[in-house]
A and B are shown apart, each in its own frame.
Chain A
């Protein structure tokens, strides 16, 4: 009863955000020619949403975030590589292993780094992705620097046709479902006392502690949820969709920076903000990439600078402060 109330409130908050995903899903089916653009947009939206659950809500910046996404990609790749004889079950195990690995890494990193505040936390997390990457490459673990390639296993198990479908249609469907999951989790957090606790932590952690909020518990909660969704994203978008996992790619800090820019641009701690940030950045990235590959990187820093100076609370924060109507405000959560 209590739970369903919270779900109902969350659904009401999430209307616009869910609509965005559903519209993308429809466009995907209607314009197969653009399906890969749409899938890319969804990747960025989910990356921003997953990052937002921790960074946006608590104000802590995790520079090593991409390591959690990478863990998810490895989880899927390893499951398919070693269990492909099980057929579809190996893919299901892959998603479970993806979450397990990213949450495990998050618990280890969190147990140490979450004791630190502000800039110290950011500095402590900078090396996490590089550290794990060099561990894998240096110790030649799980494929070393060559990574894990699962295209062959997929083709051998499912046949060429089905394998191609898994790497396109099914992976994209998984993205859609992960996006919707991320929306619902964010909306649930925002419509329960967890959201208040995180907001208090973001504004003033010491005060939150003095008021009786178990700050450690909520920080760890947000950190691991954010990592878990990142893991699912890595499993679907990198391992399943790409058919391989390569450390130089999946541990690239570039993705963390993109996540920061998207969240800051859209509005940290909001539901709709990361979606807007993801759509904007994702399409800019795509079209600039088409004009001249690499050009999009040039725009990251100026965008971030402009946002910090002109819209410190992101686009959503800016709009919300100017909307007075409470119903519209709720829609624009």
Chain B
């Protein structure tokens, strides 16, 4: 299997405070990999550093064989990597459709609308609810719909690698599972490479191929889904089983 995304010895933080202490992981092409861990483990920082929103201090980010460690975020989106940020981060005052169009920002030009029309109809096909609410302000959507919009907006740039920061946050358990199932379908049907950070471990592990466990800025455990699922210490610490 080809490498979708490889991270080597990544270090980063905020000001004086180091958060990531040499994180390495690899996400195979068209697979779904999940990073688990408690609050404050550095999961969000990891995704933001991979994306380039936080500057990496040390280490490497390699995207489909190419070193993109210091490529700025807007370039990364243009090259096919998109982040669905924590807490969805929609533009609440804009309509559903305007939010989606902004997701295609790297693809639209004043010249033509062809670049995003196709992507837009695909997103509407995936989330018919969004089509129904296309003219409504994003801030008025329900939590589940907002998460759909956040994912739809990320898909508008037609990424090959999708990073998601806790997509199930704040959702009813049933809807959280629906969202993660949907991601799993996207991976299967479109060959999307997915790196997911989650606290909803049961739902995330159900669909993931591979999992990493992170604590205090380092990876403390990794393995195939089944191995992690049956690891005694993880079951006790995270799954409450």
Q: Which residues of A contact B (CB under 8 A)?
A: 2, 5-6, 192-193, 196-197, 199-200, 203-204, 206-215
Q: Which of A2, A200, A214 contacts B102 (CB 8 A)?
A: A200
Closest CB in chain B relative to A139 CB, distance in Å: 34
Residues of B101-155 at the interface with A, using a CB-CB cut-off of 8 Å, are 101-103, 105-106, 108-111, 153-154
| Chain B contacts to A: CB under 8 angstroms | 51, 53, 72-74, 76-78, 82-85, 89-94, 98, 101-103, 105-106, 108-111, 153-154, 157
The answer to whether A2 and B106 touch across the interface, beta carbons within 8 angstroms, is no
- Decide: A214 and B94 in contact? CB cutoff 8 A: no
A192 to B108 alpha-carbon distance, docked (Å): 11
Given A2-B110, A2-B111, A206-B53: A213 in contact with B105 (beta carbons within 8 A): yes
List of A residues within 8 angstroms of B82 by Cβ: 210-212
Q: What are 14 A-to-B residue pairs whose CB atoms are below 8 Å?
A: A193-B105, A196-B105, A199-B91, A200-B102, A207-B85, A209-B74, A210-B77, A210-B85, A210-B89, A211-B77, A211-B102, A211-B105, A213-B105, A214-B74
By the criterion CB–CB under 8 Å, are B105 and A197 in contact? Answer: yes
Q: Which residues of the partner chain B approach A6 to less than 8 Å between Cβ atoms?
A: 110
Q: Select the residue from A197, A212, A214 with max chain B CB neighbours within 10 A.
A: A212
Contact of B106 among A199, A200, A212 (CB under 8 A): A212
Select A204's contact among B53, B89, B101, B109, beta carbons within 8 Å.
B89
- B residues less than 8 Å from A210 (CB atoms): 51, 53, 73, 77, 82-85, 89
Q: Does A212 lie within 8 Å of B73, measured CB to CB?
A: yes
| Given A196-B105, A212-B106; A207-B91 close (CB under 8 Å) | yes
Instruction: Point out which of A196, A200, A211, A214 has the most chain B C-beta atoms below 10 A from its C-beta.
Output: A211
User: CB-CB < 8 A to A213: which residues of B?
Assistant: 74, 102, 105
Inter-chain CA distance A209–B154, complex, in Å, is 12
What residue of chain A has the Cβ atom nearest to residue B73's Cβ?
A209
Docked-complex contact B89 and A193, CB < 8 angstroms: no
Chain A residues positioned under 8 Å from B92 (CB to CB): 203
8 smallest CB-CB distances across A and B, nearest first, come from A212-B77, A207-B89, A203-B91, A212-B106, A214-B74, A210-B83, A212-B74, A210-B85
Known: A200-B105, A212-B76. 7 other contacts (CB 8 A): A193-B110, A196-B101, A203-B91, A203-B92, A206-B89, A211-B77, A213-B102
* Whole-angstrom distance between the Cβ of A10 and the nearest chain B Cβ: 12
Q: List A contacts of B94 (CB < 8 A).
A: 199, 203
How many whole Å from A189's CB to the nearest CB in chain B?
A: 12
User: From residue A310, how far is it (CB to closest CB) to chain B in Å?
Assistant: 18
Residue pair A203, B93 in contact (C-beta under 8 Å):
yes
Minimal beta-carbon separation of A286 from chain B (angstroms): 35
CA distance A169 to B164 in the complex (A): 61
What is the chain A residue whose CB lies nearest that of B77? Answer: A212
Taking CB as reference atom, which chain A residue is nearest B102? A200
Separation in Å of the A193 CB from the closest CB of chain B?
6
The smallest beta-carbon distance between B86 and chain A, in angstroms, is 9
Residues of B contacting A214 in the complex (Cβ-Cβ under 8 angstroms): 72, 74
Residue of A nearest to B98 (CB): A196
With a cutoff of 8 Å between Cβ atoms, the chain B residues found around residue A200 in the complex are 91, 102, 105
Chain A residues, Cβ within 8 Å of B73: 209-210, 212
For B86, the closest partner residue in chain A by CB is A206
| A residues near B108, Cβ cutoff 8 Å | 193
| Cβ distance A5 to chain B, nearest Cβ, rounded Å | 7
Cα-based distance from A211 to B150 in the complex (angstroms)? 10
Contact A211 B157 (CB under 8 A): yes
